[in-house]
Amino acid sequence: MLIIAALVTLLIVIATVLPLFKNPHWIIRSMDFPRLQITCLAGLLLCVHFIFLDLQESVTWFLLVASALCFFWQLWWVLPYTPIWPYEVKASALTDPNQQLSIITANVLQTNQNSAALIALVNQYQPDILVTLESDQCWQDKLQVLETQMPYSVKCPLDNLYGMHVYSRLPFSQEVISYLVEDDIPSIHFHLRLRNGVQVQMHFVHPAPPSPTENAESAERDAELITIARSVSETEGPVIVTGDLNDVAWSATTRLFRKISGLLDPRVGRGMFNTFHVNFPFLRWPLDHLFHSAHFTVQHIKRLPTIGSDHFPLYSMLTYTPAMSEQQEGLTACKDDREEAKNISKEKNVSKDAVPS
């Protein structure tokens, strides 16, 4: 029992320590994802140590301390995404539709044929914006039925798992499809006009993840996210960034994104809203995100039912309430954060000026 406990503790310690290194290799960066699962395992391991090991032995206390340190360190990262944490974004009390903006963000899974399920959700929730990720020409053809109710669109059908479509009930202008870091990974940008006439800068993103089958390192993903954050930080007007970031809410990269951009995360204090993976309940984490400037408060945020993809869609309804801006504050960047952000962009030779604004 002691040997087994020691080996499991060692594995948890390794999984906890690896993300502390700045190395972008996918093995190290992937340890950002299962922090919730590691927290649960470390807590269970603490109980096992207390119950089954001899507390008179010094090695038992060494294992206890190691497990406890891992538990509290991992818990520190995920705790903001639980209901016991204060809201980062205030709840909206306004019901004026002229002030509201609703969005469904859906990674549809390119090989998924169940377009009817997504269309049904659109008909049920009537979002102002639908953004689809991994959508190819086949998906574009099937979603054409939505264009009678959502007449404004930007279409980028690709068969490489990085196609992207945006459908809107509201008019927009200055739409641009950009390839900021990689030649085959698009992002969509435009200025959306709310019903009250306010212009909102919109960014839709889906960078490639660090993985053995795609990018061996997280450098490309990090550069796209951080470069957008650096561009957004210079914008005084309302901004929204949404999409499948292929990163979790509690990773160092996403925290740096929030620090540099100044955008808020409406999930803080409300829940994790784990959107991936549909088929493995114990292995789920929040990959689909929506961040916004302090001009907005939250009316609703909800994980929607499965549409046959490996991701659940995410539904968000925001309210434009600029008077609440001073009452909402996210993470703050220090000098070292800004220097790190510049280096991340520089490493992939991408400028913040390349981000449409």
- Residue 93: closest CA among 290, 315, 298, 295: 298
Evaluate the CA torsion angle 284, 287, 290, 291 in order and state its sign.
Answer: positive
> Residues near 339 by Cβ (< 8 Å), separated by ≥ 6?
none
* Model confidence band, residue 64 (pLDDT cutoffs 50, 70, 90): very high
Could you give the C-alpha distances from 112 to 106, 141, 302, in angstroms and in order? 12, 14, 22
**What confidence score (pLDDT) does residue 285 get?**
95
- Share above pLDDT 70 across residues of the chain, in percent, rounded to a whole number: 100
Q: Which pLDDT band holds residue 288 (cuts at 50, 70, 90)?
A: very high
The predicted structure's pLDDT at residue 52? 84
The pLDDT of 47-52, averaged and rounded, is 88
- CA 261 to mean position of chain CA atoms: 14
Taking a C-beta distance cutoff of 8 angstroms, is the pair 244, 290 a contact?
A: no
Number of H helices, E strands in the chain: 9, 11
pLDDT in tens, 115-142: 999 999 999 999 999 999 999 999 999 9
Does residue 281 sit in helix, strand or coil? coil
Averaged pLDDT of the chain: 95
Closest by Cα among 332, 329, 338 to 293: 329
| Residue 3 in this model has a pLDDT that exceeds 80 | yes
CA angle (89, 87, 133) in 5-degree steps: 55
Predicted confidence (pLDDT) at residue 60 exceeds the cutoff of 90? no
Select the more confidently predicted residue: 163 or 49: 163
Please report which residue ranges of 187-251 form alpha helices under DSSP H: 219-232
> Would you tell me the crossing angle of helices 335-347 and 252-261 to the nearest 10 degrees?
110
> Cis bond leading into 277, ω under 30°?
yes
Distances (CA, A) of 25 to 31, 219, 233, 282, 332: 11, 8, 28, 24, 27
Report pTM. 0.95
| The predicted structure's pLDDT at residue 95 | 86
